[in-house]
Amino acid sequence: MAQFRTVGLIGRPGSRYTDETLRRLLRFLLARGHRVVLEEGVEYIDAAADEAVPNQHIMRAGLATLGANCDLAIVVGGDGSMLGAARSLCTSGTPVVGVNQGRVGFLTDISPDDMELKLAELLSGHFELEERFLLDSTVEREGVSVARAHALNDVVVHPGQVARMIEFDLYIDDLFVYRQRSDGIIIATPTGSTAYALSAGGPILHPKLDAVVLVPMFPHTLSSRPLVVPADSEIRLHVCGKLDQQPLLSCDGQTQLLTHAGDVLRIRRKPERLKLLHPLGHSYYESCRSKLGWSNNGQ
């Protein structure tokens, strides 16, 4: 327990299942003697805390402060909840584990059904550690940075309007690659290769690969295909077209940055990495089989 004495609880209350899972987790952690820090907004589970340990003081904090004060963070929800937490917690280096209450759950791989058993093993030091890198995106206008955001899954540049193309020049490490007219482009990490990029026809990248995939979205040419480049590349997009066009730069589908014709978009690997914990025996390929519907005939 000394390794993870203080544990943060992160979740988006609202559904009956998520609320009950958070209450179970709080009772479980307090009964084991852990200090608990709750993400702001989950105060409603105070009753569970008092039931587990009467008169127990529970600290509350925003994500940034929570990470700085915890040895471990447990995220309850789907991959969307994990994405939001990851962008904040990677800076503090706080390890993260996910309890899946979503539909897919590539990142939140512990089931509520055996949550206490799996977490007891993990909290005792029996786990697998995996590091995932993030992308850092900036929007530059006339040589000045005007906006910035981070992404664990992907950075997507798109028109912001249905059935309208955008035009951009792509550079990688200052080398011109192509000018493209399309519905946009997805720049995905290995973590994000099984998300939006996969739906757009991109390849699946194993999480251990130090690479980024660029997937065109409905390009206006049959020869445009996904491109895999080293993760330490600097990817630069020059937004072309008419001045009235305002493409959006979206990070993980959760943060939107407005751009203009003439803007320069820079995407780089973020120096800090997310520390993701899994129960012992975790298999990425098993996750692909169960989440993507691959055949189990070889089992």
Annotated binding site for NAD(+): 79-80, 153-154, 164, 181, 183, 194-199, 254
The continuous run of DSSP H or E covering 289 comes out as helix 284-292
Q: Where are the alpha helices (DSSP H) in 93-191?
A: 115-123
From the candidates 79, 136, 252, 263, which is the catalytic residue? 79
What is the helix (H) or strand (E) element at residue 10, kind and residue range? strand 6-11
Residues 6+ apart with CB under 8 A from 5: 34, 35, 71
Residue 66: its H or E element: helix 63-69
Q: Extract the annotated binding site.
A: 79-80, 153-154, 164, 181, 183, 194-199, 254
CA–CA separation, 42 vs 21, rounded Å? 12
Quick one: three-class SS letters along 85-96? HHHHHHHHCCCE
| Whether residue 79 lies in the annotated active site | yes
Please say whether the dihedral angle defined by the alpha carbons of residues 180, 183, 187 and 193, taken in this order, is positive or negative.
negative
Rounded Cα distance, 154 and 252, in Å: 5
Looking at the chain, the number of H-run helices and the number of E-run strands are 7, 17
- For residue 275, report the phi and psi dihedrals to the nearest 5 degrees: -95, 110
Active site residues per annotation:
79
